[in-house]
Amino acid sequence: MRTTKNLAGYMSMSINNIVEAEHYDTIICFSHLRWDFVYQRPQHLMSRFAWQSRVYYIEEPIFDGTEPEFRISEKAEGLYIVVPHLAPTTEAVVVVALLKKLLDTFMTRITIQRTIFWYYTPMALQFSSHLSPLATVFDCMDELSAFQFAPPELLELETILLLKADIVFTGGISLYQHKKSRHHNIHLFPSSIDQEHFRKARNSIPDPEDQQAIPHPRFGFAGVIDERFDITLIDTVADRHPDWHFVLLGPIVKIDPAILPIRSNIHYLGPKRYEQLPAYMSSWDIGLIPFADNPSTRFISPTKTPEYLSAGLPIISTPIKDVVQTYGINGMVDIAANADEFEHYAKAILKRPGKRERMAVTDRFLAKTSWDTTYYDMQSLIASTIIERATLHTKEPRSIQA
């Protein structure tokens, strides 16, 4: 995976030293997301990194045990889900110490010099920062501090993680622009796509049972329904057009379900497995990205955008910056800032011919986008970073720019 440019700067090293320097056989991934919650960036990437290394995906603790323990299950070959279980009576001040002890015990079976620590949440530094892996990766997929109920210490821990990390990835253009001055080795990797999976939706797939009775036109959303979701927009449009039906897939989290609009043309079908999504999308008329304008959406780069496009769906999105910059300016996604604009675009889409021509345009745009490509590019950058570290006798301290 090394490029000629990467190798050129390290000619003083022997081939054996280069191979030895970049070799790692284990990734410890610390995540704030449950593996079986919603299949997104961490799952796509860690599944692929498990092709070459053992991957241990450590989730946040569950308070249902008797004795503190890591429960480990094999999800796929080389991929293990690690769930800390603590007693329900565990006091908050004790949690970090217990997790640190569990991690230390767990690490006795692993060679730390051949292990990469991969962080999705800076909060995991509280019980892992004392260890020194071969390299530290921070895959910053969201601005977590802007989310509802974010821990107050999150920003401070992120600053520490940016000092500690050897390489940083960001999940979107806006996030990259926001973070790029804070690390010397930061790279943009926006939302990608498993095209083969979502292109299945272009075929005639039997309607899932819970969607069969829903009339057309269908406006579909697949994702988490939380503080980012524009409840008012959906409610307003659904009220104006009782013949338009809104199919909403996904878990409802961090908000009271009682505040969600209840109408005969709004259908909450709950969480669906990743494997099920093409069957639902296959009979949608329009894909929706209905995010509100608030701090939690300022830096998001919705994975559902390329997924909808690959499924062959026209899309209406609210003015999410990354969607506008990547897809809106190219005319692949219609951008609606309010209910009036939403109605305008929806009516135009429902009358619009030329679906085949539209999909040809989006297919050309997405041709070089895939989670496989993202994986290989990340792998190459990590290898280069490890090689660079191996050439230095001492590691210079880093500073953070404001």
pLDDT of residue 217: 97
Residues 241 and 164 in one domain: no
Helix axes 231-240, 339-351, angle to 10 degrees: 60
Positive or negative CA dihedral for 54, 58, 64, 67?
positive
**294 and 375 together in one domain:** no
In a shared domain, residues 358 and 375: no
Same domain, 188 and 229: no
Q: Look at residue 338 and tell me if it is in a domain.
A: yes
Residues 200 and 317 in one domain: yes
pLDDT (0 to 100) of residue 358: 82
Q: Are residues 133 and 216 in the same domain?
A: no
Instruction: From 240, 221, 243, 348, select the one nearest 291 (Cα to Cα).
Output: 221
pLDDT for the residue 390: 79
Average pLDDT over residues 11-35: 69
In this prediction the pTM is 0.89
**For the chain, percent of residues with pLDDT exceeding 70:** 92
Token pair in block for residue 388: 């660079």
User: Are 132 and 263 contained in the same domain?
Assistant: no
| Contact between residue 244 and residue 237 where contact means Cβ atoms under 8 Å apart | yes
Q: Answer yes or no: do 45 and 111 share one domain.
A: yes
As a whole number, the mean pLDDT across the chain is: 91
Q: Domain of 238: which CATH number?
A: 3.40.50.2000
- Look at the chain and report how many structural domains it folds into: 2
35 and 179 together in one domain: yes
Name the pLDDT band for 357 (thresholds 50, 70, 90). Answer: confident
Could you tell me if residue 398 is inside a domain? no
- Is the model more confident about 99 or about 5? 99
The answer to whether residue 22 scores a pLDDT higher than 70 is: no
Indicate if 359 and 380 belong to the same structural domain: no
In this structure, is residue 396 part of a structural domain?
A: no
What is the domain range of residue 322?
195-366
**CB 2 within 8 Å of CB 384:** yes
Residues 6+ apart with CB under 8 A from 364: none
In this structure, is residue 243 part of a structural domain? Answer: yes
pLDDT greater at residue 152 or residue 74: 74
Q: Band of the pLDDT at 13, cuts 50, 70, 90? A: very low
Distance of CA 137 to CAs 52, 104, 250, 381, Å?
Answer: 17, 19, 29, 11
pLDDT over threshold 80, residue 154:
yes
Within-domain flag for 55: yes
Question: Using CA atoms, how far apart are residues 61 and 24, in angstroms rounded to an integer?
Answer: 27
Please state whether 292 falls in left (phi above 0), alpha (psi between -120 and 50) or beta.
Answer: beta
Is pLDDT at 10 greater than 70 in this prediction? Answer: no
Q: Are residues 46 and 186 in the same domain?
A: yes
- C-beta separation of 339 from 230 below 8 A: no
Which of 263-272, 273-282, 362-371 bottoms out in mean pLDDT, i.e. has the lowest? Answer: 362-371
